[in-house]
């Protein structure tokens, strides 16, 4: 079982101590940001290296897949006369029916959406509704209550660290 020690309680009793605590928080924030930046740089570099190593493999894979598709198409009647797929030692190749919906020539999806509305085919229209609390911020309390909302105001403690000043003093 891990040995866990309780953190020591820190009590701030003076403004000087409060200033010191804010300075320490600012330093911790800068240190964490530096570690996170280093981590992100390392991850980005690893991703770039992996992508570079995978690129020739993926290119070769696509070349082989295209060659298999050409082979299957050229020998379709012989290989797929009675079946849609062919099981091989390392996988299966075959043909499957794929149905796509395309717009008619010179018709945009915007025009299709207009026609769906005009014809009343609303079941073919996606809508995602959600409550916009930002829009409701300026509403009076009575209007909020009408729709089942209420406003709650409370004081919330916050800390704003002056990174600029800390950086000037550290330099």
The answer to whether the predicted template modeling score (pTM) of the entire model surpasses 0.75 is no
Alpha-helix residue ranges (DSSP H) falling in 75-162: 76-79, 109-119, 133-136, 141-146
CB 53 within 8 A of CB 46: no
Please tell me the number of Cα atoms within 13 Å of 151 on its side-chain side: 11
- The per-residue pLDDT for range 65-90, each reduced to its tens digit, is 999 999 999 999 999 998 999 999 99
According to DSSP, the residues that pair with 86 across neighbouring strands are: 93
pLDDT of residue 112: 94
pLDDT in tens, 116-150: 999 999 999 998 889 999 999 999 999 999 999 99
């Amino acid at each position: 079982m891990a040995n866990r020690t309780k953190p020591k309680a820190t009590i701030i009793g003076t403004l000087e101590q409060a200033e010191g605590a804010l300075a320490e928080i600012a330093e911790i924030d800068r240190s964490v940001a530096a570690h996170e930046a280093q981590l992100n740089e390392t991850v980005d570099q690893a991703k770039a290296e992996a992508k570079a190593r995978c690129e020739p493999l993926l290119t070769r894979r696509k070349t082989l897949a295209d060659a298999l598709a050409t082979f299957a198409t050229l020998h379709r009647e012989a290989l797929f006369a009675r079946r849609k797929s062919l099981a091989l030692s390392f996988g299966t190749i075959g043909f499957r029916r794929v149905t796509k919906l395309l717009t008619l020539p010179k018709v945009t999806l915007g025009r299709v959406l207009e026609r769906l509305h005009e014809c009343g085919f609303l079941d073919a229209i996606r809508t995602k509704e959600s409550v916009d609390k930002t829009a409701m911020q300026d509403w009076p309390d009575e209007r909020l209550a009408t729709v089942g909302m209420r406003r709650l105001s409370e004081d919330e403690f916050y800390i704003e660290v002056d990174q600029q000043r800390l950086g000037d003093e550290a330099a």
